[in-house]
Structures are given as C-alpha cells and as structure tokens.
Amino acid sequence: MAQHTIEVDEGIALGQFLKYGGVAGTGGHAKVLIDEGEVAVNGDVERRRGRKLRAGDIVAVGGDEFVVAKRGIDGVESGG
C-alpha cells in the first residue's frame, strides 16, 4: 500500500480532496468512488462527499493511502 501526503487547506471536503489530490479525475468520479464505498477515512468507509477533512486524517482509496496535511505558508505544517 502506497502512502502519499497531500497539502490542502484545513476543512476541505472529501470530494474536493479526491479531485485535488488526483485520486479522482472529476467530481463525478469522486462521487462514484464515495457512493460505492471505495473510500475510507481513518479506517471507516465514508459515504459523505461533504465530510470535512482535517490535518492528520488518512484517506484510503484502491490500496493507496493519502495523508491530509495542512498547507502552510512555507510548506507543510504538522497535523494533529
């Protein structure tokens, strides 16, 4: 399982995160992944596109994990 860190603004919605991180090519693709139960947040299947993500959350899709990191002015700030 590959793990990637994606820097985003705090409180990004799950569907937006999937698009921004390149996991889903479009918002429609993100919706399908979520609706079909293919996405887990912190180990639990998540079916809400609007679920707000915070620094430190781990989003799993198709065998890959994406760690949510808060975008900082000069780089990544630590989550928590």
Q: What are phi and psi of 72, to 5 degrees?
A: -105, 170
60-67 average pLDDT score: 94
Domains and CATH numbers, the chain: 2-74 (3.10.290.10)
**Is the confidence at residue 74, as pLDDT, over 60?**
no
- Is residue 77 over pLDDT 80? no
Q: Which residue has the tokens 């429609």?
A: 28
pLDDT for residue 38 is more than 90:
yes
User: For residue 76, what pLDDT is reported?
Assistant: 46
List the Cα angle 60/61/62 in 5-degree steps: 130
